[in-house]
Chain A
């Protein structure tokens, strides 16, 4: 079983590695964005799936990482730092915000936690709009081709792919370590976890920091991949797409976020776009995504992969 899993993963990586050689540059570009989107999803799952805190403001980390690197590297505030410094800086500042939001969220539960985290990104969107001289308003701004990873799409594709593989491997190592076990103990029963000597405050904060760091890095990578930054990286539709992906894949399963993130991104940006063009009524790909989310929540609130696993295990018994 274990060996076949490794073979399957190697095969998938091999297929992705040859993709830019056999597909058009627009497909390679989209797949590269999908790699980065997968990191958004997995990093959200660390907090939501593993420690059980439903953070609806994950896009705060993505947006902060993105705007940090864009401002520091593009010369918009008079700084032209190299991107290999500004991208980790974006991740670090997102981490600090993660710590801060984590501290706030320690006190909040249920509806109130959802409310506060849902409102946070909207504050950043409004600020970006009010101080449009710096942040470029709703539209954002371009960082310029010279601030991209490379003018060549396939080089950018491989950088995005490498980033995803390294991030996923790092986060996988974390959730499979003793720390990951403690995260799940906090999620399943806080009082019991505390009783067996797990410092729940510490582990909740660590989860928030890890999640924020990877989301901030991914946000920063997005900017130098697509060359623009905008409030869409903070906005609710992105948050819903991340949630939809993790729910589709199965929350708290790790690989669910990877598969779901990839599937939903491709579905939204390729399949839904074609479907929206083909339908006689004026619908957008976003609209189809929301319909899918509603249907999915109604039909299987526990996630597609979980449902599939339950189905398979009930058959084998």
Chain B
């Protein structure tokens, strides 16, 4: 086992997980919604990009077609996230168990729809960049390097958005005390909508980055959800910064276990981590109530 390999591959996957988990954690922190459909946004992002790109290629050259498809896909998935929130989550928000059940049902519903349309095959977003850079004997394709850079860039933008804009500050306020925020005139419902849009779009970006390195299939949504759970429990449900750090830890762990044993064991390791952490600390390592 090579340490460089673990660090390099682990940070790439960690960057992608950071995008997934930060949105997941944001929604929980702000609206106290545990969204089991979060992995679905990840899968939908990849599938929309692939389908749009396939159609747009007939109309325009390869690169603009891809860029348009990716942007459209991110926007569409963001809107789907808002639509699911408005139609399904909001009416039952006060029953926490019902929120879990309905989002789980939505996740499985989309899995079945994707299976009906695309069958049980894995697909990738085609990327026109090729080439490999070698870091101390480990070949890294440019696509992977780009995925890491894009992920880091978006995470920085997200941090800036939360900490430096008015809407971001309203978001923090809402997560700290919803009633007090309403009293000082913050439109809490608007904040929830924005957070839902952001969280779904972040998952879509992650799905697109993931699918140009690996491949997605209809079952990916639930697998991603497991890693998202493991990360937010390690980093603390509701803490965006904690989730980003935990995402890289889980990424390194996943790569280590995959190299040492087998990829399937990485998933078990993530699941055992969730249970072990919660047994020792029933509110997660740094979680909110």
A binding-site residues for B, Cβ under 8 Å = 54, 56, 104, 107-112, 114-116, 118-120, 122-123, 126-127, 129-130, 236-237, 240, 243, 247, 282-284, 286-287, 290-291, 293-294, 297-298, 301
Is A126 within 8 A of B264, CB to CB?
yes
CB-defined contacts of B139 to chain A, threshold 8 Å: none
> Known interface pairs A112-B278, A112-B283, A116-B275. Does A290 touch B100 (Cβ–Cβ under 8 Å)?
no
Q: How far is the CA of A236 from the CA of B109 in the complex (A)?
A: 12
Q: How far is the CA of A291 from the CA of B113 in the complex (A)?
A: 11
Determine how close the nearest CB of chain B comes to the CB of A93; give it in whole angstroms.
19
Identify B112's interface contact among A104, A290, A297, CB under 8 A. Answer: A290
Determine how close the nearest CB of chain A comes to the CB of B142; give it in whole angstroms.
33
Q: List the 10 shortest-distance A-B pairs measured between CB atoms, nearest first.
A: A290-B109, A287-B112, A293-B105, A107-B282, A297-B102, A290-B105, A54-B97, A123-B271, A282-B116, A119-B271
Determine how close the nearest CB of chain B comes to the CB of A243; give it in whole angstroms.
6
Is B264 within 8 A of A290, CB to CB?
no
Which of B88-96, B169-177, B206-214 lies on the face that meets chain A? B88-96
The answer, yes or no, to whether B204 is at the interface (CB within 8 Å) is no
Looking at chain A's contact residues, the main secondary structure is: helix
CB-defined contacts of B96 to chain A, threshold 8 Å: 110-111, 114
Q: How far is the CA of A15 from the CA of B92 in the complex (A)?
A: 39
CB-defined contacts of A240 to chain B, threshold 8 Å: 101, 104-105, 108
Select from chain A the residue with minimum beta-carbon distance to B280.
A107
Select from chain A the residue with minimum beta-carbon distance to B287.
A112
CB-defined contacts of A122 to chain B, threshold 8 Å: 226, 271
Is A284 within 8 A of B282, CB to CB?
no
CB-defined contacts of B226 to chain A, threshold 8 Å: 119, 122
Is A291 within 8 A of B109, CB to CB?
yes
Determine how close the nearest CB of chain A comes to the CB of B255; give it in whole angstroms.
18
Is B102 within 8 A of A298, CB to CB?
yes
Can you show 14 pairs from A to B with CB atoms below 8 A apart? A104-B275, A104-B279, A114-B34, A119-B229, A119-B274, A123-B271, A123-B272, A127-B268, A240-B104, A287-B113, A290-B109, A297-B102, A298-B102, A301-B95
> Known interface pairs A56-B100, A119-B271. Does A107 touch B92 (Cβ–Cβ under 8 Å)?
no
* Interface residue ranges of B113-139 to A (CB < 8 Å): 113, 116
> Known interface pairs A126-B271, A290-B105. Does A107 touch B113 (Cβ–Cβ under 8 Å)?
no
Determine how close the nearest CB of chain B comes to the CB of A104; give it in whole angstroms.
6
Q: How far is the CA of A291 from the CA of B36 in the complex (A)?
A: 16
Q: How far is the CA of A190 from the CA of B28 in the complex (A)?
A: 26
CB-defined contacts of A301 to chain B, threshold 8 Å: 92, 95, 98
Is A108 within 8 A of B112, CB to CB?
no
Determine how close the nearest CB of chain A comes to the CB of B10; give it in whole angstroms.
21
Determine how close the nearest CB of chain A comes to the CB of B104; give it in whole angstroms.
7
Q: How far is the CA of A192 from the CA of B267 in the complex (A)?
A: 41
Q: How far is the CA of A115 from the CA of B38 in the complex (A)?
A: 14
